[in-house]
Structure 1
Amino acid sequence: MKINLNHKIFLIILVSCCIFSQAVAQQTDSRFVETEYSAGKIVPNYTKIFPSSSVQQAITISIGKQNVDTTNWGKYYRFPETGLSFFASNLGNNKVFGNQFSVLPFIRFKVLNQNKPVYIKLALGVTYFTTHFDSITNNENFSNGSPFTWGFQAMLYKTIYQKDNFNIKLVGGYSHHSNGHTQIPNFGLNSALFGISAQWKKDEKANLTNEKSNDINQESSLNNYFINYREGLGFHELGATDFPVGGDKKLVYTSSLSFGLLFNNHIKWKTGFSYRYYEHYYDYIQKNNIAAFKDNPEWSASNIYFFTGVEFLMNHISIDIEGGLNLYKPFYKTFNNDFQKDKNAAYQLKKWFNARLGLNYYVVNTLKSPTHNVFLGAHINANFGQADFTEFSTGYVYSF
């Protein structure tokens, strides 16, 4: 099956991200606006001649809320801040990299309770680049092959001044953007950024809540067990990170079954098995009449793996992280020999290990501990740390 990648796919991601930012802020809260300036450099991540660039500069405007409800998920996670960040950056080389604009739903946790606390901010959303790889007009940019990508940021904040409803923080962290192997080339664009932020809060509730967070008891308790079933539909191009360019986009089908434990009504630990079928693998086997696989090309284009993962629940939303061990993926050796050409440890790690990161939206508020629940998900999947495909999924959870 051949599909065309278009902007509608990334509009789905954007809408999902906006739902995330709203759903995690349903309780009593304190609003804020924060402006941030940061500067840094693109970090080269491939061995080809990496394009030169000057200082990267960025402006971020964040609109959010601090959950100050003492009865629900906000208390469990020490009253985190949630919201939307609008990130605009010049990447230091207008011809090759251009500018980037991101919409990033975020959650920010307090990690050190001090008079001037330390926070960590995690953000996942969608990014638009004004320029990307083109075989004629921009053949130096192997970082990004498409105008729209996933965007991820992990930033550390240290408060250096606070008074009443105003504070100033120093900022430093990591910014990563990748299209999830949906359009080659896709090495991804990584940046190290450092800067300063200024935050204005609507009222004093958040400051009072910060003081209460020191008294939270985080003892772990097992609430119940659950069974999770999921069907996923992903898409990608066949090839290495940098070639071939302009290939077809085809589907990856996933069925997954897992069993897990729910702790404190807020953290899920799960383990199970997944089955994947790659259209690209099947078509490549058929087209090239590969002797080792031709007797059963459907099975040879399959992948079975064992996985374990954790979900952090926040009402209707969860941050979902999984790591897997491939038990059966016979085509990967051929894929590596013909395309990726990794050797030694790099080959073994990508052959045996996979990863999955994204967001789930639950129809029924997870705080209600429903027996039956259904969810929608958007994830990026990887061979170890290298993007494999972007996936949308739906699933069912039975708790007991």
Structure 2
Amino acid sequence: MAHLVSSHPLGAELNVQRQTTGAAPWHAWYKYPKVGLALVYFDYRNPLLGQSYAATVYLSKSISRTARHDFSFRLGTGLGYFPLHYDLYSNRKNTFISSPLNATIQLRFEYDVALSEHLGLLLALGLHHYSNGATDKPNFGINLPTVAVGVNYHQQRPAPVRPGYAPAPPDVGHNFLNVSTSVAFKKRSAFDPTTYVVNSITLAAGRRLNRKSNLLVGLEGFYDRSLRAAQLDTARDTRHLPDTRKAGAFLGHELLLGRLALVTHLGVYFYNPYKSNPFYYERVGLKYHLTPWLFGALDLKVHRFAADALELKVGARLGR
């Protein structure tokens, strides 16, 4: 990919940020983080990559904060748009980005120092990641380390927060069951135009450990139709092919932010006749409870840090 790494991209960012004040219990549990929206533009200064535009929602957690200084860590996710992307005939050298819409993840350490009552100087060191989660190929994605300098306008510094203790939720120490199913869409390669459907079903048992965490163990099955197509392409004899369906067991964690949760799983395949991938898989995603028992999620399933499928999930929680 050396032909794509030919310059230092330049970018600009516009942020709108709000200090949490304790209106919801989780604000106090995380020591009053900031939430915000970032609009991000990059010019890659490369005729194959062009520009990108992204909108990211994020959470910023202070590591050290005084009346004049604020050192914080920021984590955000959203959507990015690339007008230029891979095309077999007109842009086949762009193996980074193969579709106009991509997911984006942003990690950033920020230092804000007061210049006046309302203005602050911002210095930041970050990482931007863009990928379509293997919904299209090729999909090497972009990892973009950044150094940023900017100016913050503070309506009130420091922003007021509600004093007091936020009680623990009533379900701490209680067990529950999750039942869910998902669908994903993926391509095998840039030379196969077919979009294949991937399905999964999951049964998980969980326990709320404390204010911030759920621990889960579960079983799940996967049916990836692209594996059957790959199998038929390479098999000499198609009469006795191994099963392409897979089953796995996983250990998972959910970092809770009110109705929202950051999901991380590590799983191992115990039924895997068609050895198309490593024996383990990872998952990272966002889960949102629409009601106390109904939830939706967007998960990225990964094999050894390479995206396998971007899963759209719906499920139900049983128990207290």
Alignment TM-score, normalising by the size of structure 2: 0.89
Q: Where in structure 1 are there 5+ consecutive unaligned residues? A: 1-47, 334-349, 365-369
Question: How far did 1:277 drift?
Answer: 0.6
1:145 paired to 2:98: yes
Q: Where in structure 2 are there 5+ consecutive unaligned residues? A: none
SS at match of 2:183: strand
Question: How far did 1:376 drift?
Answer: 1.0
- Tell me the equivalent position of 2:180: 230
The 3 A distance-change label for structure 1 pair 55 and 258 is: same
Question: How far did 1:185 drift?
Answer: 0.7
1:101 paired to 2:53: yes
Pick the aligned partner of 1:275 from 221, 238, 244: 221
Q: Which amino acid aligns with 2:124?
A: V
Question: What is the CA–CA distance in structure 2 between the aligned matches of 1:59 and 1:111, rounded to whole Å?
Answer: 25
- Tell me the equivalent position of 1:357: 284
SS at match of 2:161: helix
1:81 paired to 2:34: yes
Query: Bigger shift: 167-176 or 321-330?
Result: 321-330
Equivalence map 1:288-367=2 (5 Å): 291=237, 294-295=239-240, 300-333=243-276, 351-364=278-291
Question: How far did 1:327 drift?
Answer: 2.2
Question: What is the CA–CA distance in structure 2 between the aligned matches of 1:290 and 1:329, rounded to whole Å?
Answer: 20
- Tell me the equivalent position of 2:11: 58
The 3 A distance-change label for structure 1 pair 145 and 332 is: farther
Question: How far did 1:264 drift?
Answer: 3.0
Q: Which amino acid aligns with 1:359?
A: L
Question: How far did 1:167 drift?
Answer: 2.3
Pick the aligned partner of 1:387 from 301, 307, 316: 307
Question: What is the CA–CA distance in structure 2 between the aligned matches of 1:196 and 1:217, rounded to whole Å?
Answer: 39
Q: Determine which structure has greater relative contact order: mean sequence separation of CA pairs < 8 Å that are 6+ residues apart, divided by chain length.
A: 1
The 3 A distance-change label for structure 1 pair 310 and 124 is: same
Question: How far did 1:150 drift?
Answer: 0.8
Q: Which amino acid aligns with 2:152?
A: Q
Root mean square deviation, CA, Å: 2.6
Equivalence map 1:1-400=2 (5 Å): 48-69=1-22, 72-93=25-46, 95-114=47-66, 116-161=69-114, 163-204=116-157, 207-209=159-161, 222-239=172-189, 244-286=190-232, 291=237, 294-295=239-240, 300-333=243-276, 351-364=278-291, 370=292, 373-400=293-320
The 3 A distance-change label for structure 1 pair 282 and 197 is: same
Question: How far did 1:245 drift?
Answer: 2.9
SS at match of 2:256: strand
Deviation per residue, 1:338-370 (Å, 9 max, x gap) = xxxxxxxxxxxx502212222122112xxxxx4
Between the two proteins, the alignment pairs up a number of residues equal to 317
Q: Which amino acid aligns with 2:253?
A: V
Question: What is the CA–CA distance in structure 2 between the aligned matches of 1:111 and 1:245, rounded to whole Å?
Answer: 48
SS at match of 1:223: coil
C-alpha contact (below 8 Å) 2:19/2:159 kept by paired residues: no
Question: How far did 1:100 drift?
Answer: 0.2
Question: What is the CA–CA distance in structure 2 between the aligned matches of 1:87 and 1:49, rounded to whole Å?
Answer: 25
Question: What is the CA–CA distance in structure 1 between the aligned matches of 2:166 and 2:120, rounded to whole Å?
Answer: 24
C-alpha contact (below 8 Å) 1:131/1:147 kept by paired residues: yes
Q: Which amino acid aligns with 2:319?
A: S
Question: How far did 1:316 drift?
Answer: 2.5
Question: What is the CA–CA distance in structure 1 between the aligned matches of 2:64 and 2:239, rounded to whole Å?
Answer: 58
Question: How far did 1:263 drift?
Answer: 3.0
